[in-house]
Chains A and B, each alone.
Chain A
Amino acid sequence: AQTVTQSQPEMSVQEAETVTLSCTYDTSESDYYLFWYKQPPSRQMILVIRQEAYKQQNATENRFSVNFQKAAKSFSLKISDSQLGDAAMYFCAYRSPMVTDKLIFGTGTRLQVFP
């Protein structure tokens, strides 16, 4: 069974600085999808970024980018120019192509942003 591990329960960053959140996963599949979700204090989970495993190019969405290392089964999220509104729980998630759209989530990383 696939697993997703986020080894950093909490991280902090100064406003305008860069922070990287780690995520590793375990799978025997070659084709799959990876996601980062953000959950602010309002509790609404928001999709931050999506990566398709067959694409070697790292996904980017404005200040958010990933470092996808398929061989190492690593999928880290980099937040550049951090803003106070980036403070939230961040969840890494894995989707297998073999099961109807079921996501497997990590335990989350709480990011604090200091002014």
Chain B
Amino acid sequence: DVKVTQSSRYLVKRTGEKVFLECVQDMDHENMFWYRQDPGLGLRLIYFSYDVKMKEKGDIPEGYSVSREKKERFSLILESASTNQTSMYLCASSVDTYGYTFGSGTRLTVV
């Protein structure tokens, strides 16, 4: 089975800190995604990548950046964390049209 691993399950950071959320997949998938999940809003796409060093903005990219230096790793960066970025962050990978494989999520709290 494809495995998508997010490095932290819970994270607490201070306002203004630079935050890195790491995601690694082990099945050579081309496509990787970062979503944030908020109650009543569902999952909203932040960024996605369909190849190494390629990235595309999703629906809510403001305040975030990403890095994909290797095929298996897709990092989400909060340049200067703010309290409105407190959320659940989900990473996923996919190939073709068979749907996504998700990580377990990182619950980030910015204080």
Contacts of B40 in A (CB 8 A): 9, 107
Instruction: Please state if B42 and A107 are interface contacts (CB–CB under 8 Å).
Output: yes
The chain B residue with its CB closest to the CB of A100 is B50
Instruction: Please state if A35 and B99 are interface contacts (CB–CB under 8 Å).
Output: yes
- Chain A contributes a number of interface residues (CB within 8 A of B) equal to 25
Instruction: Please state if A101 and B41 are interface contacts (CB–CB under 8 Å).
Output: no
Contacts of A50 in B (CB 8 A): 98-99
Nearest-Cβ distance from residue A112 to partner chain B, whole angstroms: 16
The listed residue with most A CB atoms (<10 A of its CB), out of B41, B88, B90, B99, is: B99
Instruction: Please state if B94 and A43 are interface contacts (CB–CB under 8 Å).
Output: no
A103 touches which of B56, B88, B100 (Cβ 8 Å): B100
Residues B50-96 near A (CB distance < 8 A) = 50, 56, 58, 88, 90, 92, 94, 96
Residues A20-59 near B (CB distance < 8 A) = 33, 35, 37, 42-47, 50, 52
Binding site for A on B (CB under 8 A): 31, 33, 35, 40-45, 48, 50, 56, 58, 88, 90, 92, 94, 96-102, 104-105
